[in-house]
Structure 1
Amino acid sequence: MIIKLKQRFSKTLALILPGIFLLGFNIGTGSVTSMAKAGATYGMSMLWTILASCFTTFFLINLYGKYTLKTGETALQAFRKHIHPAVGIFFIVALTAGVSGSVIGVMGIVADICFEWSKTVITGGISPVYFAGFFIALVYFIFWNGKTQFFERALAVIVAIMAASFILNFFIMMPPPVEIAKGLIPNIPEVAKSQGDSPFLVIASMVGTTVFSGLFIIRTTLVKEARWTLNDLKKQRTDAIVSVSLMFLISAAIMAAAAGTLYAEGLGLSNASQMISMLEPLAGKLATTIFAIGIVSAGVSSQFPNVLMLPWLLCDYNQSQREMTLPKYRIMVFLVSILGLVVPVFGAKPVFVMIVSQAFNSVILPVTVACILYLGNRKDLMGEHKNGVGMNICLAAVLIFSIITSIMGMNGVIEMINK
């Protein structure tokens, strides 16, 4: 009986692992920072951005997944073969630059959070450098010794802890339901003069971290490795629904926690440690601890795919086996990993790094949408599954949405630099 239950659990886990992987990739400290920043500065007024971003993510996950189900090609293979090799190289360079910035911000925020928490245990706390070094070493150790199956299951456990932490916190620190409902109405809130933040940059960073181009590129690799075919189209759609629904719930819960406390008190958010030091007197020690566990879990869960992004993309582009034990890949992962020491050692501002990094991701998005728009309309590739008129209209709307958020991101970065 126990063996049968284990087999059933393993089978179920295998079916949802692609979605769990995407969730762990998507909800990292970039999401936590962007959503908490939006909630602390503008309350729930930007909830519509999360909803629109999640719909867009679901739409693009399905399109890229369907392309792989039909052709057996991953995204990078398709870009190289059917568009131009330079397009594939562009994504490798752009996504590596984006995740490098994310790695810097991730460890900076995780180290700051742990440092602030350690003050409650040890007078003066433990230096953020030690926490950053510990988590960097932990992730690299699992990468060095763990097999892909172990890696995916470890990620699933971390994602479960993260999801439970943030959703539980939502019920502890949630703002009034009326404010949540109002947030679903699209609007651009006024700039908070006391904070000096641009809503355009915050919106772009929220879109950049939710509608992440790397998500769709890696999705096609996972679908191919799962050996799904067109017969699994329904399975792929269900997996995407579960993944995106959890993305929305967790992102909204993070925003609500900040809106119900920091925004309600007019405190805003300018650095990572505020998420702990300012939440405790407002929400209590239990809520603060749960939130801290969620942030650390989010950071670790996103750090795994972040440091693996470059070697995985190269393997995909070259159509070679993902043999991560090769010295060249271990060196790549090590070099990307140690970027996590930049914030603790040099004192950079992790929230600023993360928001600019996520806004940069939104600039890559229009190219991602344009590529699937082109490939999806190739009858020689898609056959009867070629995009219809309705699909093309939706894609055109998504393309316009992505261009607008890219412009917002660039304008927001320029405004922040000028200030």
Structure 2
Amino acid sequence: MKRYLGVLLGVLTAIGGFVDIGDLVTDAQVGARFGWSMTWVVLLGVGGICVFAEMAGRIAAVSHRATFDLVRERLGPRVGMLNLVGSILVTLLTFIAEIGGVALALQLVSSVNHVLVVPFVAAAVWIVLWRAKFSSIENVLGLLGLSLIGFAVALWQLGPDWNDVLHQLAPTSNPGGESWTTYAYFAVALFGAAMTPYEVFFFSSGGVEERWTRKDIGVMRANVFIGFPLGGILALAIAGCAAEVFLPHGISVETLGQVGLPVALALGKIGLAVVVLGFFAATFGAACETGLSVGYSLAQYFGFQWGKYVRPRDAAGFHVIILLATALGAGVLLTGVDPIMVTEMSVVFSAIALPLTYLPILVVANDPDYLGEHRNGRLANVLGVFYLGIVLVVSLAAIPLMIVTSMGQH
């Protein structure tokens, strides 16, 4: 029974933890401008994160070592450094966006400008990362993130024309007269939001934190192959609500408050209060995950003690890295930069960094010296190579599309 409860808790946490500020903003923007026509991108992204998260989790369970620890050893310090620099910059940018997302969520309930809230959010994130147990961070915030299921209820209440929805599912459907370059730009952003690099870093390191063994591979796979797809359905509900409310009127989503407006229209103030709680939990949880991922990546590459499973004084360097990253994030946001703009940049640059993240994982997952009989089989390799080809195309297209469309403005 305890094992089944563990699977259930892991799945629920994966659902609640799948959506972060990048997904909230990008899903709503895409729904408002393109309706349901990018459903295929969400499904493709969820499939990709499942493929590589399973590899990362299996590596952690079998080798008891995390991603950057093995990447540096297997591919050498130079390739490892290239991977580290690209990934850490994207993770740090995402960390800043998540802190900004928490501040925006608190602004919705307090009417206090988000810039004034940023120092308190940063302090709270640091205190939680310093003092809270890993399981508490993951489970409590992940479960609170399930409040975002309010979007699925709101979508049902809005009563979309499902025949029209089915018509829009075709990738050739491009509503609103948008250009195909703009369509491609948002497809890249949506794919990047689904496959954000920090997710696999956190998942792999979390497996080491929780001392996974070969016996836990089944539980890990249940979390991945059930939790992430259900989280993807939640992302589609957010896009669907925006499509129902904003698309018919040609309204673009530019604020976090607009993301929650369809829920307010469908379910009233109580429903809105529930999803605002989800906003807070999802962004605060993702801020904790990205903050930890910054510390994990640097500590694992340079080989010093890391993790929540040891006392803070025994992993002082790890905690100092997180403190400096938190201070940097707060400093950037205190300049008055728009957190939504930071979020948009983070998902595009996530797309650029995808090959640096996922190629090393595929290489290590095929190494019998680390995984023995648990190394990749034929199906895992076929899917891995398939998705590696996609992320390479996405990575090469991201910058040109961002320039041509002025970040989706035309």
TM-score tier, shorter chain, comes to 0.7 to 0.9
What residue in structure 1 maps to residue 259 of structure 2? 275
| CA gap 1:256/1:217 in 2 versus in 1, 3 angstroms | same
Cα distance in 1 for partners of 2:330, 2:81 equals: 27
Q: Does 1:306 align with 2:290?
A: yes
Q: Name whichever of 56-65 and 43-52 sits farther off.
A: 56-65
Cα distance in 2 for partners of 1:319, 1:134 equals: 30
Q: Does 1:176 align with 2:165?
A: no
Maintained 8 Å contact 2:23/2:190: yes
What residue in structure 1 maps to residue 321 of structure 2? 332
Cα distance in 1 for partners of 2:108, 2:216 equals: 47
Aligned residue identity for 1:160: L
Q: Does 1:394 align with 2:383?
A: yes
Cα distance in 1 for partners of 2:333, 2:297 equals: 28
Maintained 8 Å contact 1:29/1:109: yes
Cα distance in 1 for partners of 2:105, 2:375 equals: 48
Residues 321-380 of structure 1, C-alpha deviations (whole Å, 9 max, x = no match): 424624544443233224554676433232222122111111221233322333344344
Alignment of 1:34-183 (within 5 A): 34-118=26-110, 125-162=111-148, 164-173=149-158, 175-183=160-168
| CA gap 1:49/1:281 in 2 versus in 1, 3 angstroms | same
Q: Name whichever of 143-152 and 181-190 sits farther off.
A: 181-190
Cα distance in 2 for partners of 1:344, 1:77 equals: 31
Correspondent of 1:367 among 356, 360, 364: 356
Cα distance in 1 for partners of 2:177, 2:336 equals: 26
Maintained 8 Å contact 2:299/2:306: yes
Cα distance in 1 for partners of 2:65, 2:282 equals: 30
Deviation at 1:310, TM superposition (A): 1.8
| CA gap 1:200/1:407 in 2 versus in 1, 3 angstroms | farther
Deviation at 1:319, TM superposition (A): 5.8
Cα distance in 2 for partners of 1:305, 1:314 equals: 14
Aligned residue identity for 2:71: F
Residues 138-170 of structure 1, C-alpha deviations (whole Å, 9 max, x = no match): 2222223323343334323323334x3333333
Cα distance in 2 for partners of 1:282, 1:19 equals: 27
Q: Secondary structure at the match of 1:267?
A: coil
| CA gap 1:39/1:152 in 2 versus in 1, 3 angstroms | same
Cα distance in 2 for partners of 1:136, 1:381 equals: 38
Q: Secondary structure at the match of 1:217?
A: helix
Cα distance in 1 for partners of 2:274, 2:133 equals: 30
Structure 1, unaligned runs of 5 or more: 1-7, 119-124
What residue in structure 1 maps to residue 400 of structure 2? 411
- Percent identity reads 20
Residues 74-126 of structure 1, C-alpha deviations (whole Å, 9 max, x = no match): 221221111112333334333332232223323334434443444xxxxxx32
| CA gap 1:225/1:113 in 2 versus in 1, 3 angstroms | closer
Instruction: Calculate the aligned-residue CA RMSD, in Å.
Output: 3.2
Q: Does 1:203 align with 2:195?
A: no
TM-score normalized with structure 2 length: 0.84
Q: Does 1:185 align with 2:170?
A: yes
Cα distance in 2 for partners of 1:48, 1:218 equals: 26
Cα distance in 2 for partners of 1:55, 1:382 equals: 23
Aligned residue identity for 2:91: V
Cα distance in 1 for partners of 2:135, 2:375 equals: 34
Maintained 8 Å contact 1:38/1:46: yes
Cα distance in 1 for partners of 2:344, 2:48 equals: 20
Maintained 8 Å contact 2:27/2:239: yes
Aligned residue identity for 1:410: I
| CA gap 1:415/1:283 in 2 versus in 1, 3 angstroms | farther
Maintained 8 Å contact 2:88/2:294: yes
Cα distance in 2 for partners of 1:394, 1:196 equals: 28
Maintained 8 Å contact 2:296/2:306: no
Maintained 8 Å contact 1:343/1:350: no
Cα distance in 1 for partners of 2:219, 2:266 equals: 43
| CA gap 1:333/1:77 in 2 versus in 1, 3 angstroms | closer
| CA gap 1:181/1:80 in 2 versus in 1, 3 angstroms | same
TM-score normalized with structure 1 length: 0.83
Maintained 8 Å contact 2:92/2:294: no
| CA gap 1:72/1:105 in 2 versus in 1, 3 angstroms | closer
| CA gap 1:157/1:374 in 2 versus in 1, 3 angstroms | closer
| CA gap 1:288/1:75 in 2 versus in 1, 3 angstroms | same
Aligned residue identity for 1:45: S
